[in-house]
Amino acid sequence: MSWQASASVSEKPATEFDAIVVGAGVGGLYALHRLRGLGLNVGVFEAGGDVGGTWYWNRYPGCRCDVESMEYSYSFSDDLQQEWHWPERYGTQPEILRYVNHVADRFDLRRDIRFDTRVISGHFDAASNHWTLQTDRHGAVSARFCIMATGNLSTPRVPDFPGLQSFAGKWYHTGLWPHEGVDFTGLRVGVIGTGSSGVQSIPLIAKQAKHLHVFQRTANFILPARNAALDAGTEQRQKAEYAERRRAALATPFGIAGHPPPVKSALEATQEERDAAYEAKWAEGGSISFLYAYNDLLLNKAANDTAAEFVRRKIRGLVNDPAVAELLLPRDHPIGTKRLILDTGYYETYNRDNVTLVDARSAPIEEITPAGLRTTEAEYDFDAIVFATGFDAMTGALLDIDLHGAAGASLKDKWADGPRSNLGLMIAGFPNMFLITGPQSPSVKAQMILACEQHTDWIVDCLGYMESHRLVRIETTQAAEDSWVAHNNEVANSTLYPLANSWYMGANIPGKPRIFMPYVGGFDRYKQVCDEIAAKGYEGFTLTAAKTLALEPI
């Protein structure tokens, strides 16, 4: 390719590349594979000790994907999807990590990845149209193009409780779990947080611990996963239909096939019809299926209330102690506006004698003490504390890197009032830097692997276009970015999503700007927009040829 510095990796110093990918999770690995296919010399830099991203770091007990295995997998290679066997309906973390490792080996990806290497900063040089990234292990590295595959939930967050360092026991964050595992047998354990990570780990920790206290600040809506072994017949049938299923997934709002879109409003159904519909969804298991009971559950509060009340009734039926059940009833947000959680035996765990639910809303945690922790009402002694307290989602990993664009301005300044991007793919003022599933793209509101593939395919097509038109620089126009951000906000505000204090809104991080970050207009609509923009020669992007020739925004 014309902007390729030389032909092979071995002939050039390991500090100069055609493209650098930051992150070797599912997005970064696919980006490496595709960029190699363009003939580019690619360097991947990964903070972890191996591939896998989310699935490398999150090793807590019970960690499992909430999207079904046959969907949550790469679609780019039919041989890969035919040969891999998923044993269960939902993949466990070890299974998914084994799969990602298999992909890395099968496509010979590791040789271009530098592990245990964190990217600290990045500066764009407008004269040479190159990025230089500073790493903590391999010095400075540079490339014309930079692809940030840094993940949406990759910056674990421990709340700023005073006294943490004084704690005499051991403490863990679910997103940074020790590789050797943790044995809680006979220990007094405190778990803080009841999001997906807490809900998945609590039933298993409870089985080991002498006593488990769970500190819940906000009750969540939790549905049964109904995980089970994947039977051979289903696997065979789905594999035979894989090409069709993947095509169908691209044309759905969540990027997941097999769930026909609902056509009826919950308010058009009678109470009996609704109960029967919700009961069937509850028995089937899964979150999309439940949200697809009616077409207005995420749009109309009255419709949403019918589903929320059904789940509250179920919780009352599962938990023996009415006072504990009452505390577990979610009441502060519409169902589905925070990530719906799938469980296996979560509510039943509160029927155990060795489990106590503590209301950390009425009595907030004030400090960690040498012996345990203290709330505004009581002190608790623990041998171990588990922080299931989530992530600085969607923007944390990018903002941890000190990025400076064409005019030297920093991303931190640019995003001080919240993230702004065009399509979640590029940021105005940051040429030649692409995001994989950045804010304002469907990202976490779609099947993530499919979303990573769609972004990478768009980027690779774009780089191919640039090569064939002898272009060396691409950046989004400010106007296109402003217009996409406005559209993203308008779509979000037409739904119930902004009513919840969710990590989608940045609400879980004190001081983080409140802006709805994922695009919820539907993966299908989003892909169509991306494809149309590409077909129009990258409308809304400024493309620059080598030397001085600049093509105006189209």
- Position among 223, 388, 397, 435 found at the interface with ligand N01 (CB under 6 A): 388
Alpha carbon separation from 524 to 115, 451, 489, 528 (Å, rounded): 35, 11, 18, 6
Nearest distance from C-beta of residue 64 to ligand N01, angstroms:
6
- The smaller minimum CB distance to ligand N01, of residues 58 and 544, is found at 58
CA distance 523 to 514: 23
Residue numbers 148-167 binding ligand N01 by CB under 6 A: 153, 159
Tokens read off for 438: 């950045």
| 276 half-sphere exposure, CB direction, 13 A CA radius | 5
- Position among 122, 151, 190, 198 found at the interface with ligand N01 (CB under 6 A): 198
- The smaller minimum CB distance to ligand N01, of residues 286 and 521, is found at 286
DSSP-derived 3-state class of residue 279: helix
Beta bridge partners of 391: 156
- Position among 129, 154, 196, 422 found at the interface with ligand N01 (CB under 6 A): 196
Stretch that binds ligand N01, among 95-103, 260-268, 294-302, 387-395 (CB under 6 A): 387-395
Binding flag, residue 365, ligand N01 (CB under 6 A): yes
Nearest distance from C-beta of residue 528 to ligand N01, angstroms:
25
- The smaller minimum CB distance to ligand N01, of residues 110 and 512, is found at 512
Alpha carbon separation from 456 to 148, 165, 184, 425 (Å, rounded): 11, 42, 41, 10
Beta bridge partners of 16: 142
The helix (run of H) or strand (run of E) holding residue 531 is helix 523-535
Site string for ligand N01, 423-452 (x = CB under 6 A): ---------------------x--------
Q: Are strands 471-476 and 541-545 parallel, antiparallel or unpaired?
A: antiparallel
Stretch that binds ligand N01, among 31-39, 104-112, 300-308, 382-390 (CB under 6 A): 382-390
Nearest distance from C-beta of residue 60 to ligand N01, angstroms:
8
Q: Are strands 402-404 and 119-125 parallel, antiparallel or unpaired?
A: parallel
- The smaller minimum CB distance to ligand N01, of residues 359 and 400, is found at 359
Q: Are strands 113-114 and 42-45 parallel, antiparallel or unpaired?
A: parallel
- Position among 503, 516, 538, 541 found at the interface with ligand N01 (CB under 6 A): 503
Q: Following CA atoms 109, 111, 115, 117 in sequence, which dihedral angle do they give, to the nearest 10 degrees?
A: -110
Binding flag, residue 508, ligand N01 (CB under 6 A): yes
- Position among 129, 150, 194, 369 found at the interface with ligand N01 (CB under 6 A): 194
Residue numbers 64-103 binding ligand N01 by CB under 6 A: 64-66
- The smaller minimum CB distance to ligand N01, of residues 43 and 190, is found at 190
Binding flag, residue 195, ligand N01 (CB under 6 A): yes
- How many residues bind ligand N01 (CB under 6 A)? The answer is 28
Binding flag, residue 215, ligand N01 (CB under 6 A): yes
Residue 49 CB contacts under 8 Å (≥ 6 apart), including other chains: 56, 115, 116
Stretch that binds ligand N01, among 101-109, 197-205, 290-298, 347-355 (CB under 6 A): 197-205
Helices (H), 139-191: none
Sheet of 541-545, strand order: 471-476, 541-545, 550-551
**Residue least distant from ligand N01 (Cβ):** 195
Residue whose entry in the numeric block shows the structure tokens 């206290």: 213
Site string for ligand N01, 317-356 (x = CB under 6 A): ----------------------x--x--------------
- The smaller minimum CB distance to ligand N01, of residues 43 and 396, is found at 396
Nearest distance from C-beta of residue 139 to ligand N01, angstroms:
33
Binding flag, residue 287, ligand N01 (CB under 6 A): no
Using only C-alpha atoms, what is the Rg of the chain? 24
Nearest distance from C-beta of residue 27 to ligand N01, angstroms:
15
Residue 400 CB contacts under 8 Å (≥ 6 apart), including other chains: 155
Nearest distance from C-beta of residue 356 to ligand N01, angstroms:
15
- Position among 390, 418, 419, 522 found at the interface with ligand N01 (CB under 6 A): 390
End-to-end CA distance of the chain: 24
Alpha carbon separation from 4 to 145, 321, 461, 490, 524 (Å, rounded): 11, 67, 16, 41, 34
Alpha carbon separation from 301 to 35, 515, 522 (Å, rounded): 45, 20, 20
The helix (run of H) or strand (run of E) holding residue 19 is strand 16-22
- The smaller minimum CB distance to ligand N01, of residues 140 and 158, is found at 158
- Position among 217, 259, 412, 487 found at the interface with ligand N01 (CB under 6 A): 217
What count of residues does the chain have? 554
Site of interaction with ligand N01 (CB under 6 A): 64-66, 153, 159, 174, 192-198, 200, 215, 217-218, 339, 342, 360, 365, 388-391, 444, 503, 508
